[in-house]
Structure 1
């Protein structure tokens, strides 16, 4: 009995653990999973047997909802190959099931169900962006069952629609990251009733520092930052349950570049803002285009007020959050003469413009004042704005929040927001190229903000958008419901996100790769990384971090080739490329460090590492071309144009520049002394003590040529060596007497009119012996050539033990030396020769 209870208890704990695990994953979307692809009793078929459930909705709806419903229709087709019939506000005869979508007060069928008390909407009525998803039996005459998606407002309805799309398998990143959509022949809805509503009111992204990558891409694909470009951005934000955008602004102007931009934002349901230093909806670049006089309120107040007034007039009744305040021209601090009294006057004048142009009290238009950089100092010194203005607190541009509200302070009607950074242009160096944001740090800082009452605006600088896919998803998921996350379930979010992009089977390993590479990138940004970042000598620190990335790349490549073909573009963009490119960067700077280490010691190994630097630098360019031209058949051209190599100051260079390296001349002594052991001394030809050249002939090593390590020859091969050209080898002998000096060369034929290729050899400066390695050759084939080596030998008398010098001097070009062996004890023939002898340094 006790055993049975123990088993039952263990089983119960397992079930509870599975439920907890499931609830955490489900909480990542704030709505339990209610879509399935296999039928169970009580499920509502949405697509079955080639037929799709009819969709009722859109008749009297806002344009944004109508568009989202049409997107849902297309999503059904992408998943199942079947398109539902969409009718605006009536049920077709014979429809026994239906999908009913609408906003309270805009859909007569939903309002009828509420009036008949068949649908309880008390939890969402009057709420901000709330949605109700519910299955109902017998909702309307002749209808047996329906799935309802009901919004408290237009975005509440939209979020319910896109949640259904996501649960069917349409990733919010299907377009922006080429995530494939898995096909299913049937789709079913489980019985459900759930409410979903955001915890943070305005949740969005800021496209910033967007040249050269995003701007180059948008210009090539869309002709610039026009409404065709922004349509994709708006849809992504909505599918991620965001609602707010600060548009691209360096050299761009959202309202001025394409008048359709603002129309499409409102048509799709996006709340528009402008960045922290662009007051009253006017882009910074618009002052360059149309401004009169200096950007200085003390000298040019009237022209500035006219400039701002036209911005509010242009905004009209569209949903916006208006930035107020003023910084210096070009996102710089204002002059030292600027004071709190002047800034307060600027804010008062701006609010009067807002009231005059909108025809309603200023407090009825959402506004923010960004306490960015020096502006926070003004606040700390006592500057205040009206209570209805949201105080937008900021991080330090590197993900560390500078200021939070005092929990004991009086509540403000405008509340607080946070401006956060995944991308930054500024000191000590820009951080623009690739994702360096750990979600663990993002969670820790944004959780701190939320717990201190920051819940009005969350906006994050995402640079070019494209390389920041995962942290954008996490940031907006967290903004929707910060309480769903804790320190122990962050990796579950990564795994859930990866399952959405690459499938359940590959989710854990993909998540581990993302989690690990962002951990590595959080150590130091790629732009700050250089040959001095890590130590070569401090417990091999640099080698260890390089090895970390190298091993991670091996794992990423392994998974890439295991993945089904359709996932590879997405995996390359989201996982493999960041690891591949950053690993290569680490390899390059490690090679720079090694090059300088050996160059400082006058060691020719510096040349090897210099070549490695060159290879890595070239590979960086190849990887860039691969991303821009190969992935998705060139869809993301220019998206990896951002410079990351060659920084000298905080700002990016105009082009990538390979780090400086040092090459040492091959005539430099190697200072190696070989020690006799077991009756012989064996030396690779490249391990000379001295390689002496002339002004017309130099020595060159051909790596991997021949039987063992390499070959050594003279260059150029058309120049005949003179007496200055020779190799010397130092040996330490114990034996005396006759010794045989064996020289192994490559099987070069006597191409010089059968005269043969000759070298001269001497011991300790004595008389030279001349050797012709192939003078005997007369064109016969298929005999000695197959041995791949020419062995020649001379005899020398060793009169005393100790140090001796062997000099080999080529008399013709074209001889390739491979190995030198001094036999003082009778070696057995071997064309590999004995292993290289031990040597000691003599420097």
Structure 2
């Protein structure tokens, strides 16, 4: 976008894909011009007709009606839904074995459905000549099951120019008075079977918004959630559960999910399809299986009875009441007995073997200890591994392990707990999400992926990426991940602004990865050294870039732009301005400079007021006030892990009452970029450079992560060589900076090795001496650092070699500093 004066940092992030691309190179692709053998999907003056047989599932007809509406929004003309092929029909859709219309086309050999029958959520799309009398050419969509058909229909909506976020982020359809589909056939199906989100920590945001908009978290609110999931090719939901029960709060909600095709589950501490709120309302006695087993079995039985004939996966096991540990210690025998009793209930209610009902055992927090100490569940149960609540997967199944129930991952974009809540903004950098979930896929955890999205907004971008990757993790390779921001932004805002907006989102993720906003205060960065000024300058530059892009957008897209892009940048920039001003106020007061102290105090008060104005713009000014309460989450004034009741202005200082200043924690260190060395592959392992991994730049990762650990690094084993210049003689401290990952293999180690000038490699364990305190520091700073002291280093040039040991370690850089500094 040459007419924009974008910052150098943003220009560097514009993808090469922003250049000219070949037009319509793929089958069944939307184009603005006709192609040989293609289909005119939308034409001026023509009614867009979608055909779905009445015998098909209700959810299919819902999706077909949405497609009709979407095509009208794109083309500006008229549309209709028909139940039999009529003259001029443009789309004919249905489910194999459920749609007489589709089955007749298959018998006539009009469409190729080879490999489709029996495939979970698979679909075929094919441009077919003369599919019915009076129809010269149409797009035929065939689903292997009802969701396959639904996903095929919504895929056309997306290709035509309607975002999955059309309602949730006020993204207008991209208008095309004429639109064509290329000829050919496309078949697709998901790799991860269950793909979904968990609406959680939903007060005051989502809950307040739903009550203001729909009168409660009821079926009207959930209809919007269900539609978003299906448009995103997702199929699974853990519903909001802070004092809520989707099943009991509104008896219409669960049947609506069943009708639409969305699978419902319950969270890691709500077994047997029963919300925690159900027990609070109707439970009798303690939530303690050693004391109250009969009452709990009766309670759980009702959950399975209420589930009926749904396909919903059932959470089994037990945690303590209120998401607490069930007991002190690891009561394996007790939990195994609970699981056995729950499976007996399932078998008795369904009148089928328990193995025929999908079940999930969530290995969350202390429950993973049960697994690590030998507890096992029947082979048909899905093992749902979890991250550490901060995006670092704690454990994965052994590579190549085969279980009928498979394994999955419960991931977090939002969290309530230590070392501090983070639930105000989306601060999840896509490259880190990609690296962790790619590792999960490599290890075979591909049965269920679910992510805690908090209030859902403003997690739109990260949620889209997570669900897109879940559809087919292998398809989301490094190149696809790095192209994703521009592709996603283009879907929301069109090709003219898409690359620049994608670069904004990428840069935001980089800068936000430094530290969650709830963890930032006036002492986060060092003022005297200029660290605060450098960090603030980066945010100011990004804010300026975002506002320049906003000025190029048509008015109809500015609400969406604010919700999806500008709000998070503006809010984080303002927060940094606030705390920088507070730091400068305190420093000036301590130095006796009353005038500067007062000037910075006034600036800080202004930024604090601006924070409230930003919320007002989001909730009141955007989209006609549609998002009331959605940004009500407090975020300023934390003193512990739990949120403050209200946002509180940080304490300011005067010359008469100065506040103590923290001592500078900066060390005179030379930093070395992770990607500045020469990467050498070996032993079937290769290095990949992942751009934009942190605020500092790229990271280096090894692939495959399932490769064995290299216990004796050296020689031809994988390594990276860094040429450095050291300006003094004497002992040197060499540090390796890595992402805050964990030992997903369960070996308690997270290692690399270091050598200098061809010397013997020295092993470094980034998790050595791991405690709750060291883990907290790693997630607060979003990095791990391991150091070693080299006793006698001469001044001049040196060659430092970093050797791969544990393939899951992500290298973010090196540091050099005089020993003892």
TM-score normalised by structure 2 residue count: 0.76
Higher relative contact order by CA 8 Å / sep ≥ 6: 1 or 2? Answer: 2
Aligned to 1:57: 52
Aligned to 1:541: 531
Matches within 5 A, 1:99-114: 99-114=91-106
Verify the 8 A CA contact 1:491 1:511 in the aligned structure 2. no
Query: 1:116 Cα shift?
Result: 2.6
**SS at the partner of 1:206?**
strand
1:579 to 548, 553, 569: 569
Verify the 8 A CA contact 1:101 1:157 in the aligned structure 2. yes
Verify the 8 A CA contact 1:123 1:195 in the aligned structure 2. no
**SS at the partner of 2:272?**
helix
1:310 to 293, 302, 307: 302
Q: Is residue 366 of structure 2 the alignment partner of residue 380 of structure 1?
A: no
Verify the 8 A CA contact 1:517 1:579 in the aligned structure 2. yes
Verify the 8 A CA contact 1:46 1:52 in the aligned structure 2. no
Aligned to 1:254: 246
Verify the 8 A CA contact 1:491 1:515 in the aligned structure 2. no
Cα pair distance change 1:32/1:236, threshold 3 Å: farther
Aligned to 1:300: 292
| C-alpha distance in 2 between matches for 1:26 and 1:495 | 18
Aligned to 1:77: 72
Aligned to 1:649: 640
| C-alpha distance in 1 between matches for 2:85 and 2:151 | 24
Query: 1:118 Cα shift?
Result: 2.8
Matches within 5 A, 1:668-707: none
1:629 to 612, 620, 623: 620
Aligned to 2:664: none
Verify the 8 A CA contact 1:55 1:86 in the aligned structure 2. yes
Verify the 8 A CA contact 1:33 1:167 in the aligned structure 2. no
1:188 to 166, 180, 183: 180
Q: Is residue 601 of structure 2 the alignment partner of residue 601 of structure 1?
A: no
Query: 1:63 Cα shift?
Result: 0.7
| C-alpha distance in 2 between matches for 1:389 and 1:141 | 49
Cα deviation digits, residues 602-638 of structure 1 (max 9, x gap): 2212222222221111111111111111111110011
Q: Is residue 548 of structure 2 the alignment partner of residue 553 of structure 1?
A: no
1:441 to 411, 416, 432: 432
Verify the 8 A CA contact 1:58 1:69 in the aligned structure 2. no
Verify the 8 A CA contact 1:200 1:457 in the aligned structure 2. yes
Cα pair distance change 1:543/1:44, threshold 3 Å: same
Query: 1:22 Cα shift?
Result: 5.8
Verify the 8 A CA contact 1:367 1:389 in the aligned structure 2. yes
Count of aligned pairs between the two proteins: 642
**SS at the partner of 1:638?**
coil
**SS at the partner of 1:504?**
coil
Verify the 8 A CA contact 2:28 2:181 in the aligned structure 1. no
Aligned to 1:366: 358
1:280 to 261, 272, 277: 272
Aligned to 1:268: 260
Verify the 8 A CA contact 1:209 1:424 in the aligned structure 2. yes
1:461 to 445, 452, 461: 452
Verify the 8 A CA contact 1:34 1:192 in the aligned structure 2. no
Cα deviation digits, residues 6-55 of structure 1 (max 9, x gap): xxxxxxxxxxx9899969x999xxx8561223334433222323112432
Aligned to 2:343: 351
Q: Is residue 82 of structure 2 the alignment partner of residue 87 of structure 1?
A: yes
| C-alpha distance in 2 between matches for 1:572 and 1:636 | 12
Q: Is residue 220 of structure 2 the alignment partner of residue 232 of structure 1?
A: no
Query: 1:592 Cα shift?
Result: 1.5
| C-alpha distance in 2 between matches for 1:91 and 1:627 | 45
Verify the 8 A CA contact 2:415 2:423 in the aligned structure 1. yes
Cα pair distance change 1:337/1:512, threshold 3 Å: closer
**SS at the partner of 2:518?**
coil
**SS at the partner of 2:648?**
coil
| C-alpha distance in 1 between matches for 2:232 and 2:473 | 15
Query: Which protein is bigger by CA-based radius of gyration?
Result: 1
Verify the 8 A CA contact 2:425 2:568 in the aligned structure 1. yes
| C-alpha distance in 1 between matches for 2:213 and 2:24 | 37
**SS at the partner of 2:132?**
coil
Cα deviation digits, residues 71-112 of structure 1 (max 9, x gap): 111112212232333221x333xx265421110011223212
1:34 to 13, 18, 29: 29
Two-structure CA RMSD over aligned residues (Å):
2.0
Query: 1:337 Cα shift?
Result: 6.0
Query: 1:144 Cα shift?
Result: 2.3
Cα deviation digits, residues 648-687 of structure 1 (max 9, x gap): 01000111111111123599xxxxxxxxxxxxxxxxxxxx
1:518 to 503, 509, 528: 509
Aligned to 1:170: 162
**SS at the partner of 2:286?**
coil
Verify the 8 A CA contact 2:96 2:117 in the aligned structure 1. yes
**SS at the partner of 1:280?**
coil
Verify the 8 A CA contact 1:135 1:145 in the aligned structure 2. yes
Aligned to 2:558: 568
Unaligned runs of 5+ in 2: 1-15, 659-821
Query: 1:360 Cα shift?
Result: 0.9
TM-score normalised by structure 1 residue count: 0.74
**SS at the partner of 1:138?**
strand
**SS at the partner of 1:224?**
coil
| C-alpha distance in 2 between matches for 1:21 and 1:258 | 51
| C-alpha distance in 1 between matches for 2:329 and 2:17 | 63
Aligned to 1:743: none
1:126 to 102, 118, 122: 118
Verify the 8 A CA contact 1:50 1:185 in the aligned structure 2. no
Verify the 8 A CA contact 2:50 2:89 in the aligned structure 1. no
